[in-house]
Structure 1
């Protein structure tokens, strides 16, 4: 072997001479070809096929690959990307495996390319797709079941809460009814009977007075007042023993309050009803009426308003009573702490708390006063049999039976 002055290398062979010119040699070797060889899940091989599925629960997934190069294999480098997990290609590495841990369930696509010893990257890449199967608690139906169970638990908790409140309300109603009955009996047996006895004796005295006696008109006036007091007492006793409202509708009861204030005839009054009126529980109806009566009485007597409005809303979830006026409003200190000797606002708040309602009172000097009472529907409204699921199923079954009977009755024999 001899090198000449131009850098060419000459070889002496058995059959002749061979020359190699290094300046004309091509430096780049053929591109390396990447190939995915295996997929391991926690060290266990996964079969490679048309559809690759990796069972859920495996923490470590390894993808083995190789690069085919005939020159210097140890100088082959790789870059890879796992679609569905990686956002960019990895840096060139010499390792022939890619390791991923805690992959979420779902489809993935692994791509890998190789470079030859001269650093030239191949345009062909090896691609393999696989799916990581979810565990049972990672499936959509399990998550949906959890959501439904939580929603059902919330609904049941709400219903139990409403049932407990309803039971407490019924117990309070029975206690109040018993107390009102006792008070009515005592009033009837003591005060009312005393007035009746005094009235009878005064009638005897009146009969004995001469027709032209100067005391006659005065005695007649006293008898008239006593008769009025006795009638009022009977009405009070009757109201203690029964519901305060003869009409089951709040809208009619509120509309009659206007007649109690003839001196404010110039004040505008409007009643608005939203939704379909529903029957109320008697204790709720009485308490709501008393709260509204107190609010309207304050508006007519003290607000100096030109317009008073009552809004009744019958919604599926609640009963709402809104009373507003455009009067002079309520003093801030009176609104927060009340007025000595007056129990109107505090009584309204106590009544609303007893029935599980929420009372909101807003007042401004230039905007008037707004009183809003809201009571949850399950507490306010009487339960309807139509709302019971078993009744609904029964109606559906009866309707189906009627349809079948009508169809069978309409068929004519051949």
Structure 2
């Protein structure tokens, strides 16, 4: 938090606090002072208001500002000097009256400030003040000429002029009573009631009153209403006026100070629930107590005299905000847990520390306490009257430090001290009845021990034995009846305990009568039957690297022993087992722990040099209080004392801190959370957080500053945030209150913000903000759809290009096929025919007949090959069914001519299976070569041909029952090599199985596209 917590609880006691007339009349509280050092734009503050979200707004000399308890948001849009009026409407817009820009409005969502124009010259006078919104939603403000009313929705104005006087400034402030009647406090014109039916202002008291008897020269300032519906009105010359709006009766109370006037008032309660009226003038702040009819002024709140311009009491939190010429004073009666009680100046030499507390059993009222001091003696303190009386310890000119105090059944108080000037006695006995110091035989005996009069601890046990001791000279037990030492151990046993510098720092007796010792080496207890000291510390992992030295011991209500050590706090159960260890990891702020106390709820209070700690054994919460929370000093090393189980007394320098424990043990309401600022790339933006916050892809780095709007003095608020859709767990960030995210992917997220108070109570309903990170244009669905469409168009274009290429290829193949068939085929047929005709005309044994016959055969063979080529080129034959039909026809012609019985199997249906021209050609030529070889060389009587489709593979099997051959033997023929080469071209496999006399099987398999 940026605010300075200046504890000023002493101010109520520094001047005349302990006089008979007003010893206990002022609440013992502390104020917080907030100035420009904390971010306030100007120390001159004129007005305050609370909006619907819980932010506190202040009108300053420079501009309006919004406060979240941690920081200020200043509105410097244009000149709005002297903002004397602020109010929030039901839509959370902020309306203000200023000296330079007139009436202005700050929008609830945008936080933009705009000036409100008016056509009425008097209504639109720029020098306006005291803006007020009534229960009907109308806005009221004042200027030099009177007061005006405006419709906040339509912006229409109506002016109510006042009689002009020599008073030159805004003419009035406003208040509304329980019956929703509006009252105008009209400066030197009078007190006016607004007649809503007649739409007019009626003066009921003051210079312009209708009743001549009430025409008093009163100069009014501001007014407030208490819980009983009574108006309290401040004046310049009539003090404080109590006015009953129902009867019209009034009483004025003078503050008995002719040089001052009451400038501002506010009704409220002090921390004890008693009604008070806060008032301020140009010299400072005070309260008026109606039941006493007395004024009290708070002195020395600030170094110099200051003017109080406005007092605003937040009815939600009960906090009083005092707007002054030197900053803001803040008083919170509910959260002011720690009170300050000062020792009167002059009663004892300062500085002095309160070391011990002892309630006086002889006082039936229970209001008397004895306070043992760090020097000089002890104080008798009557809590009801706040009266202190000093009793100096004997002897004269000694410097005794009080270490312990015990009151016995007879009422006498036994006191153990350290006499730093080495003058005895070190055991002092005091009789509260006659206020005399005594010297009974037992104390005379006790004072004979120890080389120096240091009696650091002592008590009486059930047998009325007095146990006394100090750190380095051991313990002695004295019998009250016989006045003799009855220590249950010998001197050597005690020397063995304290040898090696094992100093004894504390000694306590538990409910069972067992005596416990806190030493430099740890915890011991006394075994009287065995007449020895037993080491009680057990090993614990958390204490492995900790100092075992014990400073203070405490027994809790369950019989557990707590030890305040150097660096830790431990709890040992009845069986001697250490169950709890608190160190800096759990939140202890200092190594030197000394103070220990237990309240009636079982909470353990721990004092060290850096504050007061509160530990709840059930919830395991460890909290810390400091000067920011009202402590006079963070040094709480002295013994803490719990009175009646509910009040904690803390000894301090020159005073006492008193803490009401029951305020901690109640059910506190966790603080509400509000967003203070939302920044994108470190630039503040404004959103209506009730709606989704929509961010551009480039704006996906943002920070959210959020605050707990409890405004309490306990500033140890805790914060956490969680972004659903991004974070896996809550981010607990301690007292920091900034959530920051960068490079979020486009998506819809929900940001949860929550806060906890100083006691670890968290909001059960976190603030939720929905955040939508919009995708970039290239991440949108339409852009992706466009890309898909573009890719599809490209693919389709490629497809069409491929189809067109195939069509052109088919056209070329058709043309080549036709050309080959028509041109070359016709020529070959003509050659064959002419050869046959020439052969007929030759003699049978003509030498050329053989050549002609061969020419005719070659021509027929070429024609047959050309026919195969033409057939393979023609796209019409790409279907596998056309190929198998040709193969069947070829097999029948060849095998039947050779007289070979054959069987050919082929599928009846091939679906859409097509072969490329190259595949068709290679497949057919392998088949043709294999069948020709079978017809020429196999000498078979039967042959089998099978064509099949198997899993995207085409398979050909040709078998015969011929003579067979050895396929691995070298041969000069190219047929087998050609077939294997074509099988490779098909990316298939060719398998030939044969043996002499066993026939031959050829198997071809290659992949095809279905």
**TM-score range normalised by the length of the shorter chain:** 0.5 to 0.7
Match of 2:698 in 1: 57
Match of 1:80 in 2: 721
* More off after superposition, 252-261 vs 79-88: 252-261
In the alignment, is the contact (CA less than 8 A) between 1:37 and 1:66 conserved in 2? yes
- Partner of 1:31: helix, strand, or coil? coil
Unaligned ranges ≥5, structure 2? 1-340, 344-355, 361-368, 372-380, 389-643, 650-659, 961-965, 995-1000
- Is 1:272 aligned with 2:907? yes
Give the structure with the larger helix fraction: 1
Counterpart among 254, 268, 273 of residue 887 in structure 2: 254
Alpha-carbon distance, 1:40 to partner:
3.2
Distance 1:346 1:370 in 2: 10
Counterpart among 629, 642, 647 of residue 21 in structure 1: 647
Distance 1:44 1:235 in 2: 94
* Partner deviation per Cα, 1:95-149 (whole Å, 9 max, x = no partner): 2221111212221111122221233433332222222222222112221221232
Match of 1:146 in 2: 787
In the alignment, is the contact (CA less than 8 A) between 2:720 and 2:755 conserved in 1? yes
* Partner deviation per Cα, 1:377-403 (whole Å, 9 max, x = no partner): xxxxxxxxxxxxxxxxxxxxxxxxxxx
Counterpart among 764, 767, 773 of residue 132 in structure 1: 773
* Partner deviation per Cα, 1:283-337 (whole Å, 9 max, x = no partner): 94x9725632423642784699975422479xxxxxx882332869xx9999xxx
* Partner deviation per Cα, 1:5-59 (whole Å, 9 max, x = no partner): 1496856566999x98317614466533333344333324141233332233313
Structure 1 residues 375 and 225: alpha-carbon distance in aligned structure 2, compared to 1, 3 A threshold: farther
Match of 1:387 in 2: none
Q: Which structure would you say has the larger Rg?
A: 2
- Is 1:369 aligned with 2:1003? yes
- Partner of 2:906: helix, strand, or coil? strand
Distance 1:133 1:54 in 2: 6
Alpha-carbon distance, 1:223 to partner:
8.3
Distance 1:167 1:160 in 2: 10
Match of 1:310 in 2: 947
In the alignment, is the contact (CA less than 8 A) between 1:82 and 1:108 conserved in 2? yes
Match of 2:988 in 1: 360
In the alignment, is the contact (CA less than 8 A) between 2:980 and 2:990 conserved in 1? no
Distance 2:858 2:933 in 1: 22
- Partner of 2:751: helix, strand, or coil? strand
Unaligned ranges ≥5, structure 1? 207-218, 314-319, 353-357, 377-414
Counterpart among 197, 202, 214 of residue 838 in structure 2: 197
Structure 1 residues 176 and 82: alpha-carbon distance in aligned structure 2, compared to 1, 3 A threshold: same
Distance 1:253 1:106 in 2: 65
Structure 1 residues 38 and 276: alpha-carbon distance in aligned structure 2, compared to 1, 3 A threshold: same
Map 1:203-242; keep pairs closer than 5 Å: 230=856, 233-234=859-860, 236-237=862-863, 240=866
Distance 1:333 1:152 in 2: 55
* Partner deviation per Cα, 1:190-245 (whole Å, 9 max, x = no partner): 78745642442035x69xxxxxxxxxxxx9xx989977973773574387379448
Instruction: Give the paired residue count.
Output: 342
Q: How high is the TM-score relative to the length of structure 1? A: 0.61
Distance 1:101 1:264 in 2: 89
Distance 1:332 1:84 in 2: 73
Counterpart among 906, 918, 927 of residue 295 in structure 1: 927
* Partner deviation per Cα, 1:71-110 (whole Å, 9 max, x = no partner): 3464212121101111121133332221111212221111
Distance 2:755 2:720 in 1: 7
Distance 1:63 1:4 in 2: 49
Distance 1:294 1:192 in 2: 31
Map 1:31-46; keep pairs closer than 5 Å: 31-42=670-681, 43-46=683-686
Match of 1:100 in 2: 741
Give the structure with the larger strand fraction: 2
* More off after superposition, 73-82 vs 166-175: 166-175
Distance 2:386 2:927 in 1: 126
RMSD of the TM alignment (CA)? Answer: 5.2
Match of 2:710 in 1: 69
In the alignment, is the contact (CA less than 8 A) between 1:30 and 1:69 conserved in 2? no
* Partner deviation per Cα, 1:343-367 (whole Å, 9 max, x = no partner): 53366369x7xxxxx5423548699
Distance 1:136 1:109 in 2: 23
Distance 1:364 1:80 in 2: 78
In the alignment, is the contact (CA less than 8 A) between 2:835 and 2:856 conserved in 1? no
In the alignment, is the contact (CA less than 8 A) between 1:108 and 1:129 conserved in 2? yes
Structure 1 residues 98 and 125: alpha-carbon distance in aligned structure 2, compared to 1, 3 A threshold: same
- Partner of 1:22: helix, strand, or coil? strand
Q: How high is the TM-score relative to the length of structure 2? A: 0.28
Alpha-carbon distance, 1:60 to partner:
1.0
Alpha-carbon distance, 1:268 to partner:
4.3
Distance 1:266 1:46 in 2: 97
